Structure 1
Amino acid sequence: MADSEEPEKTIADEAVVGKYAAAAEIANRVLRNVIEKCVDGASCREISEFGDKQIVEECTKVFKKEKDLKRGISFPTCISPNTCICHFSPINSEPDYILRNDDIVKIDLGTHIDGYIAVVAHTIIVGATPDKKITGRKADVFLAAYNASQAALRLLKPKTDTYVITDTVQKVCKEYECKPIEGMLSHQLSQFRIDGQKTIIQNPTEAQRKEHEKFEVGEYEVYAMDVLVSTGSGVGREQDARVSIFKKTDEIYQLKLKASRTFYAEVVKKYGSMPFNLRSFDDEKMAKMGVGECVNHKLLNPFQVLYEKSGEFVVQFKFTVMVFPSGPSKITGLPLDESMFESEHSVKDPELKILLQSSLKHKSTKKKKKTHANNHGKKGKNSKNADALSNNVEKMDIDSDTKMELEQAV
């Protein structure tokens, strides 16, 4: 009972920052390795399996002394090609997709260390090279999504109304004559929870705007900022692809079928509240039998595989952001080489241009460090932890600005 009454630890604690940063480093590294696998003739299923295997292997290499610490996949690897918007990660008995040159591929995955989650998504064009410009609607949607994500990042700071981010993403996409995917949510992250209370909605309908609560971004919160943009209507639809990714809810129900009970018990034991892929079960047939009753009685939430209309292009960028009093620190995500894209459109709105050109670098936090020194007198345990974390940050697979932000934060 005492544990449930303990206040949740936040990134105000340098130990929590360290676990988020370790999870982020692994997510970025695995993402790069997965991108290398996305070549002409490659299987989406096999690449997804490779990504999941890498996450599990890499997570076992950190925090080895904490034997009981949970770690691993916070979101299974998805390889969603072309008009597929999200969540394509087929099980062995379902149709695969073989990549071809010029396919637009959205790669989405997540890790966690002790329940502290780092998620990331990036979009590539199979076979693209820097010496050949990408033009037309492909260029429009890449630049719309990337610039919208960069605008959202700069707004993820304390006291920002979440609908300001919603409307800004919409405005950036409009500059490129593109649309954000309707109703998609970016979630606050917390320990062992990938879908926290606060959310940022994309391109809401009037009904969704009335129903969806607005929030204010707070200090020491963490968000998975997810931007999905289309050249089409922006309305996702289900097709024939079977759902393979699910997540346990907090609902309670006494399952009737033995197969369902066996399957659900394994879900609780192995994955807890983290999303999982049916493919990860040894007995896929049993998993397929059991999942239906669990979904019907809301014990599990499915992550639907959604599609745009044929002939349209969809791009996704997702990154994990820590919100400090001084502003946002992006810890996952890869840069986009904008020089590869040539569009007839650009951001012309003066306010948006100022926002996109604004710096993400933070003011010095020397005062905070001095307070640490005053509180501890000589070098105590917390100070040593901070020094160790600073040393680890310097070695991490993250960009230089992010390293500087994390060093200042601790």
Structure 2
Amino acid sequence: MPRDSATPPLNSLGFAKPEAETRVLVAMSGGVDSSVVAAQLAEEGYDVIGITLQLYDHGAALAKKGACCAGQDIHDARRVAERIGFPHYVLDYENTFRDAVIEEFADSYLAGATPVPCIRCNERVKFRDLLETARDLDADCMATGHYIQRKTGPNGAELHCAADPARDQSYFLFSTTPEQLDYLRFPLGHLPNKDATRALATKYGLPVADKPDSQDICFVPEGNYASVIEKLRPGAAEPGEIVHADGRVLGRHDGVIHYTIGQRRGLGIGGLSEPLYVVRLDVDSHRVIVGPKEMLSTRTVPVREVNWLGDAPMTSRPEWEIAVKVRSTRPPRAAVLRPLSDTEAEVELLTPEEGVSPGQACVFYETGGSRVLGGGWIWRGR
């Protein structure tokens, strides 16, 4: 059926109106990715509003004077907005971020889990509270610099992996709900690589074009989890024993918070004939349990807080043949998903994986395709 000549064509964000009448809120972190998104949309003529969230203060988090990384990122986002010429606002979300992300991170870590706070931040802060702010500002949609693709399928918006597997951030966005996905846009997901993003930053003359990528969790500089936990939970580093799975006491440690499942180096129990790995953390007895590598292999992964993005309800079948990631850095592996309820399931890995840890996410993908079907949180080992 021909389009009514009076109906304007869809713009690049999917709205049937001119770009100048389409308001888009861009979540700006101060890095090159979100800066390029804002600049590109502004150049295309959209009504762009930049928002940067002040989530934490390194000085307060680490009891260290002079730390200003959060402040520098805000400054960089503001400079980009001034360079391109669109309004930019900074919102103080420190209390929200602490309550929704940092406190749970500390508690989960102390309970022997390996949490992924970046997922909780997307779920509870950026895609919930900030998204509501976007609606309050009458924005038609919210755009971010994440490397993931939103595609329109026969049943609505779908979440797909980024075109560049090396930059794909689908693991960190599995908890995006269908309602949020309707409102979100990810303009960088189709780019072939990060060089293409930096080339756009140079094209737009952005002051952050050469800014290095952030490698650490924002409130855990240099990846030192234990030091942050000790600041947040004084006295958390209770000493205890390092025990072999067969019961032998091999040494002492300064706190289970210094260890993670699968760790081999830095155990302080040298001189043994076999390589040993952390296979379990017994928080209640302050014990670090170590054993041979084969003890890390896991085939059955229980998950809860499942967010399902498939077309049919997850419980409409007794099992699904899918692919899953149990770590962000690992490729998807073949698995069978068996729903237990709308929000709980059991995942059977067809090939056992090592180092599957409570607190990590298990993300679901369609077999042989790019679509993200959701995921859940690993909550106990077997």
Q: Same fold (TM over 0.5)?
A: no
Greater Rg over alpha carbons, structure: 2
TM-score (normalised: structure 1): 0.24
**Comparing both structures, which one devotes a greater share of its residues to strand?**
2
Structure number with higher relative contact order (C-alpha < 8 Å, ≥ 6 residues apart) = 1
**Comparing both structures, which one devotes a greater share of its residues to helix?**
1
